[in-house]
Structures are given as C-alpha cells and as structure tokens.
C-alpha cells in the first residue's frame, strides 16, 4: 500500500504528494527540516526537535504555518496512518511558492509544510553491532551550520564520497579539527576516559541526540569536554562514535582506513547507546 504523506493541510498518498516547481525550497533551498526518530510507534525526543525547528525558522525569519503543537499532532497522525513502528518522521517547511523566482522574501505567500515517514529498525541496525567506517573531507559548508537548512549539497557530496569509499559517514574537517559528520555529531573517548565533542556554535548543528547523550553521560558520571578535536586525536583515542536521530549512538571503528583502537566498537559507545535507547523508550511520546 502507498505510504501517506502530509502536504499543506492534507494527508495524501506519497506518490501524489507534490509541491510547485516555484517552491522556494526547490529553487533556493529556502527551507528548514527536522528528522525525529520513531520507536514502537512513538516519537523520540520530539520536543527537542520542535524547539530546534522553531529556532531554525526564527534564524531565517520564516513563520511556521502551524503551531508546534499542531505539527506534533500531524507527526503522530502520520505515524498512525502509516502504521509506522520503527523509523522516522521527516518534516520540511519552506518559504512557499510565489508567482516567479524573486530572491527576496515574497509577501502574502503561505509557507509550505510537508511530512513523510520512513521505516528503519534503528535499535537493531546491523551497524550498531559492527560499528561504522568514516572518511574525512574538507568542510565546505556555509558559516551558519547551526541552522537546520535543507541546503545539503556539501553533505550530499561528503556522504557520496564516504559511500564510494565503503564508509557510512564523512567527518568534515575545518582548520585541522573535526566539525561534525555529514548527518551526525562526532565524539571521541580519550585515553583518560574523557568524552569529547565539539561545543555548539555556528560551526555545527546543535544535535538533539548529542544534547541528550551529553546530559545522560554526565548523569552517569562520565567526564564530558565540549571542544574541537583533530583526526590524529581521534586515531589516538580509546573510542570514537557518532550520534543522530537516525542512528542514536553508533561506534566509529575506522577513520580514513585507519583503525580506531582495535577496530571494534568500544564498551563506552555501546554503554551510551544502551543508556540512550533506555532514555528514548522512557520519554517517547
Ligand atoms: N541529520 N549534524 C548534522 C549536520 C546533521 O544533519 C544531523 C542530523 C546531526 C545530528 O542531529 P540530531 O541528533 O538532532 O539528529 C548533526 C539528520 C538525521 C538528517 O539529515 O537526516
């Protein structure tokens, strides 16, 4: 059966879900998106995703066409209509479709809001057991990476380079330091057992999973330091891992073909994954 999508007020079969060629998301990447995980039919850490959505649209002066409370209702309705058990809900809001292609904001145009779901077994994904390989690429993105913009060409190229190298993620490098992954936050565990991840700022997206994992790690008495780290530091580390809504916590076992420690997922990444999954189940809405 065709999946159901949401487009501007209507639930429609995915194959019939369409927006105009004049939509500013399509023409200018003038839009914001969010991805929230679904476990056992419930949304994970969704308040955090909706808070970031509000912040992102605020940063580009785009008014949401619905309240966040209504957006959550639509997310839940879509999960229900698609009988989604495990996976994610994608949502995108753009500055809408005007009558022509003018760069400046149009007046009186309603923003576009679309959503769809996809199934994925995040908890039992094979890569959760094996860990993943990452490559490194220069970070060629714009300077406002804190905004979850749909302008993802740099990440598309980074993740394609990773796929061609047999890797699942690309760590982006700026001034000799890792910023983040193409679609995930980057972490290491140093030899003296400090969890290190780059501090939030305009250089990275403030990951919702990153935020939860940092808080949970501190609650479980791990030491966390928020600062940039280099690839050399990662290769000398005890462990490395990534976080995102679509993988939760996943160990990194090699970087550019060089093993991290013994090339196997480390115990702390595995433990943080368990802690995060427990948190996700306990707080799902
Ligand atoms: N990406 N950094 C970047 C550049 C991202 O695109 C993402 C998420 C993250 C992790 O954020 P969170 O923990 O809130 O998912 C970090 C989503 C999953 C995507 O583009 O599919």
Same domain flag for 37 and 146: no
Ligand 1 pocket, 217 CB below 6 A?
A: no
Claim to verify: residue 14 and residue 92 sit in the same structural domain: yes
Residue listed under structure tokens 């194959």: 15
Of 119, 139, 174, the domain-final residue: 119
183-223 pLDDT tens trace: 999 999 999 999 999 999 999 999 999 999 999 999 999 99
CATH number at residue 170: 3.20.10.10
Residues 46 and 161 in one domain: no
Pair (45, 88) in one structural domain: yes
Nearest CA to ligand 1 atom 19: 183
Point out which residues pair with 224 in neighbouring strands.
Answer: 195
In terms of domains, do 97 and 134 share one?
no
Same domain? 279 vs 162:
yes
pLDDT, tens digit, 9 for 90 and up, residues 13-40: 999 999 999 999 999 999 999 999 999 9
Count of the separate structural domains present in the chain:
2
**Do residues 130 and 253 both lie within one domain?**
yes
pTM value is 0.97
Arithmetic mean of pLDDT, 103-123: 97
Domain with 36, as residue range(s), is 4-119
Is any atom of ligand 1 closer than 6 Å to the C-beta of 46?
no
**Residues 234/255, Cβ–Cβ less than 8 Å:** yes
107 & 130 share domain: no
CB 249 within 8 A of CB 266: no
- The gap from C-alpha 98 to its chain's centroid, in whole angstroms, comes to 29
pLDDT of residue 2: 87
Question: Is 70 exceeded by the pLDDT of residue 267?
Answer: yes
Domain termination residue (choose one: 61, 86, 119): 119
Q: Examine the fold and report which residue of 119, 149, 181 is the final residue of a domain before the chain moves on.
A: 119
Please report, rounded to a whole number, the percentage of residues in the chain having pLDDT higher than 90.
Answer: 99
Q: Which helix (H) or strand (E) holds 218?
A: helix 208-219
Tell me how far the alpha carbon of residue 133 lies from the centroid of ligand 1, in angstroms: 17
Q: Is residue 162 located within the same domain as residue 69? A: no
CATH number of the domain encompassing residue 10: 3.30.470.10
Does 207 share its domain with 260? yes
Same domain, 136 and 86: no
- Residue 82: CB within 6 Å of ligand 1? no
Mean pLDDT across the stretch 131-137?
98
Average pLDDT for the chain: 98
Look at residue 264 in the predicted model and tell me its pLDDT: 97
**What residues contact residue 204 under an 8 Å CB cut-off, 6+ apart?**
145, 146, 179, 180, 185, 198
210 Cβ below 6 A of ligand 1? yes
Q: Which range has the worst mean pLDDT, 41-45, 123-127, 243-247?
A: 123-127
Residue 239, Cβ density class (10 Å: 0-12 exposed, 13-18 middle, ≥19 buried): buried
CA nearest 248: which of 36, 54, 41?
36
* Same structural domain, 74 and 148: no
By alpha-carbon position, which residue is closest to atom 9 of ligand 1? Answer: 184
Could you read off the pLDDT of 79-112 as tens digits, one per residue? 999 999 999 999 999 999 999 999 999 999 999 9
pLDDT digits (tens, 9 = 90+) for 232-257: 999 999 999 999 999 999 999 999 99
Is residue 1 pLDDT above 70, yes or no?
no
* 100 CA to centre of ligand 1 in angstroms: 32
Per-residue model confidence (pLDDT) at position 179: 98
């Amino acid at each position: 059966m065709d999946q159901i999508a949401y487009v501007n007020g209507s639930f429609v079969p995915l194959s019939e879900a369409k927006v105009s060629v004049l939509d500013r998301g399509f023409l200018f990447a003038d839009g914001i998106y969010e991805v929230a995980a679904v476990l056992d039919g419930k949304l994970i850490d969704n308040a955090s995703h909706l808070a970031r959505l509000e912040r992102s649209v605020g940063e580009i002066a785009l008014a949401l066409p619905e309240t966040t409370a209504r957006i959550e209702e639509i997310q839940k309705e879509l999960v229900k209509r698609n009988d989604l058990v495990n996976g994610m809900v994608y949502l995108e809001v753009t500055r809408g479709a005007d009558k022509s292609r003018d760069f400046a904001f149009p007046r009186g145009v309603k923003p576009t809001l679309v959503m769809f779901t996809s199934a994925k077994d995040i908890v039992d994904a094979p890569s959760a057991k094996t860990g993943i390989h990452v490559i490194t690429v220069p970070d060629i993105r714009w300077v406002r990476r804190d905004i979850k913009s749909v302008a993802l060409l740099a990440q598309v190229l980074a993740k394609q380079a990773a796929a061609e190298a047999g890797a699942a993620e690309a760590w982006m490098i700026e001034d000799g330091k890792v910023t983040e992954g193409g679609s995930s936050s980057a972490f290491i565990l140093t030899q003296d057992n400090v969890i290190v991840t780059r501090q939030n700022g305009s250089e990275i997206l403030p990951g919702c999973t990153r935020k939860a994992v940092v808080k949970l790690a501190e609650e479980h008495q791990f030491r966390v330091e928020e600062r940039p780290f280099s690839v050399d530091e990662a290769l000398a580390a005890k462990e490395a891992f990534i976080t995102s809504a679509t993988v939760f916590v996943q160990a990194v076992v090699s970087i550019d073909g060089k093993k991290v420690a013994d090339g196997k997922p480390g115990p702390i990444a595995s433990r943080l994954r368990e802690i995060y999954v427990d948190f996700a189940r306990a707080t799902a809405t």
